[in-house]
Amino acid sequence: MSETGERYRATEEPERYAASELDVRYGTYEKPEKYSWREDSSEKRDFIVGESKEVAIEFESTDGTEFNVASADYVYKESDGTVLESGDAEVNGKEAFILLTPSVSGYLQKITFTVTLQPLDDLGQLDPTRNAETVKSTVTVNVSEE
């Protein structure tokens, strides 16, 4: 386990494509819960209305425990809390992701992923002696008209 007692850490995946070359740096943000996540240094994702980009988070164990991402869903909200979109997120290994195509411009929109993580035993099977845990991670997006 890490010094803060966290077992898992989620990492936002960087954008796959960029219109110009950017320096991408990552920072780690420690959370008091068992799970933490980190996001690129800009702390937000920028979109133009109609663009489609993958938004993803990745989990890693901080104490070496093997685990499985059992399920993931998301809610995409306007800054005033209006739900713009929701549904199941795709799961690939230790990642949860969606393909987001915003149709409404706005700043400080939020995508909240809710992910269930299940610890595995030494044989890679679900560990019946440990509880599955549900983690929420939020990614902020800004959407402009142009």
At 89, the pLDDT band (50, 70, 90 cuts) reads: very high
Res 5: pLDDT = 67
The reply to whether 49 falls in a domain is yes
Res 93: pLDDT = 87
The reply to whether 13 falls in a domain is yes
The reply to whether 45 falls in a domain is yes
Distance CA 109, CA 140 (A): 6
The reply to whether 3 falls in a domain is no
Distance CA 80, CA 58 (A): 27
Distance CA 38, CA 96 (A): 14
Res 2: pLDDT = 52
Distance CA 109, CA 102 (A): 10
Q: Is the pLDDT of residue 37 over 50?
A: no
At 86, the pLDDT band (50, 70, 90 cuts) reads: very high
The reply to whether 2 falls in a domain is no
Q: Domain range spanning residue 42?
A: 8-144
Segment 48-66, tens digit of pLDDT: 999 998 888 888 887 778 8
What's the CATH number where 30 sits? 2.60.40.10
The reply to whether 65 falls in a domain is yes
For residue 11, how far is the Cα from the chain centroid? 6
The reply to whether 94 falls in a domain is yes
Q: Is the pLDDT of residue 32 over 80?
A: no
**Residue 106 burial (CB < 10 Å; 0-12/13-18/19+)?**
middle
The reply to whether 1 falls in a domain is no
Instruction: Work out how many domains the chain is built from and give that number.
Output: 1
